[in-house]
Amino acid sequence: MTVEEIFAALEGKFDVKREPLDKWGITAVVAAPYLHNAVQFLKEESGIKFDMLVDIAGIDYLTYPNHEGPRFAVSYAFKSMKNPGARIRLKVLVSEENLKVPTISDLYANANWYEREVYDQFGVIFEGHPDLRRLLNHVEFVGHPLRKDYPAQKRQWLSTNDYLLPELEKRLEELGYKVIQRSKEVETNDNEFLEGSIKE
């Protein structure tokens, strides 16, 4: 089974379109509601099992010449371990008004961090994501830096590091533990949290 045939199957099932910009491989543009099912199909049912998620990239088409349609896009790259060399990409177009894409972090473990990164850099919200926080930028960051309208030199000061303890408690709960008494460090004074180490 070739990737072309899989694309044809996707076309029949999920009404995908071929992305004309990708002249070197196969990119299927899929509507956001079908994304989860399409990915599941690629991973489990199709002839070539695309069992590795290689990358998720956000794209902002704000200044792209002659671009029509939604402003953002999220592009997924998959590859197959059993059939070396078989790769396929999916693309979801996201409009600025409705920045929502279903998560695929339940299918691929590494989608968790990739989606957090896209959220961080572009502000695309992944519905159903277990822990949608910023990944690369700090907690006090305002805005989404890789959007084309974010000025590259707009610097943002961080007063102190985040404590990460709420996330640790979340992880403990995932593992089946129950927090009875929180550690002292969590209940910090709000002022201290904001003042931090760098004092005037």
Partner 1 sequence: MIVLDPNGEKLNLMPLNVGPSHPATHGCLRFLTALDGETIVASVEEIGYLHRGFEKMVERGTWQQVVPYTDRLNYCSAIMNNIAFCRAVENMFGVEIPERCKVLRVIVNELSRINDHFVCVAAAFQDLGGTTPFMYAFNPREEIMCIWEKLTGARLTNSFARIGGLYRDSYEGFEQDVLAALNSTEKALKDLHACLDRNRIFLDRTVGIGKISAEKAISYGWTGPCLRASGVASDLRKDEPYYDYETYDWEVVVGTQGDCNDRLQVRLAEIEESVKIVRQALKRLAPGPVDIVDPRIRVPSHKLAYQDMEGLIGRFKSVYEGIRVPEGEYYCGSECANGELGFTIISDGSGHPYRIKVRPPCLTQFAAFHELVEGGLLADSMAVLSGLNIIAGELDR
Partner 2 sequence: MGNEAEKPNIITSSLDFLVNWGRSNSLWPFPYGTACCAIEFMSTEVGRYDLSRIGSEYVRFTPRQSDVLLVSGTITYKQAPILKRIYEQMAEPRWVIAMGACACSGGFYDCYCTVPGIDHIIPVDVYIGGCPSRPEAFFDAMFDLQKKIKDESYMKQRAESVKEQLEMIKVKTAEAKCEAKTAIHEKVVDIKDFMKEKQENLVKKAQFWKE
- The residue ranges that bind partner 2 (CB under 8 A) are 136-142, 145, 150-161, 166, 169, 178-182, 190, 194, 196-198, 200
Partner whose footprint covers residue 69, from partner 2, partner 1, none (CB < 5 to 8 Å by kind): none
Neighbours of 190 (CB within 10 A): 7
Sheet with 72-79: strands ordered across: 17-18, 27-30, 87-94, 72-79, 52-60
Partner whose footprint covers residue 1, from partner 2, partner 1, none (CB < 5 to 8 Å by kind): none
Partner whose footprint covers residue 97, from partner 2, partner 1, none (CB < 5 to 8 Å by kind): none
Residues 70, 93 contacting (CB under 8 angstroms) = yes
Task: Based on the shown chain and the rule CB under 8 A, indicate whether residue 85 belongs to the binding site for partner 1.
Answer: yes
Task: Based on the shown chain and the rule CB under 8 A, indicate whether residue 140 belongs to the binding site for partner 1.
Answer: no
Return the SS3 of 8. Answer: helix
> Smallest distance, Å, CB 84 to partner 1?
3
> Smallest distance, Å, CB 193 to partner 2?
8
Q: Which residues of 44-70 are buried (b: 16+ CB within 10 A; e: fewer)?
A: eebebbbeebeebbbbbeeeeeeeeeb
> Smallest distance, Å, CB 118 to partner 1?
10
CA distance 31 to 16: 7
**Structural tokens at position 156:** 């943002």
Question: What residues line the site for partner 1 (CB under 8 A)?
Answer: 19, 21-25, 27, 51-55, 57-60, 64-65, 75, 77, 81, 84-85, 87, 89, 108-110, 112-114, 121, 134-138, 145-146, 152, 162, 164-165, 167-172, 175-183, 185
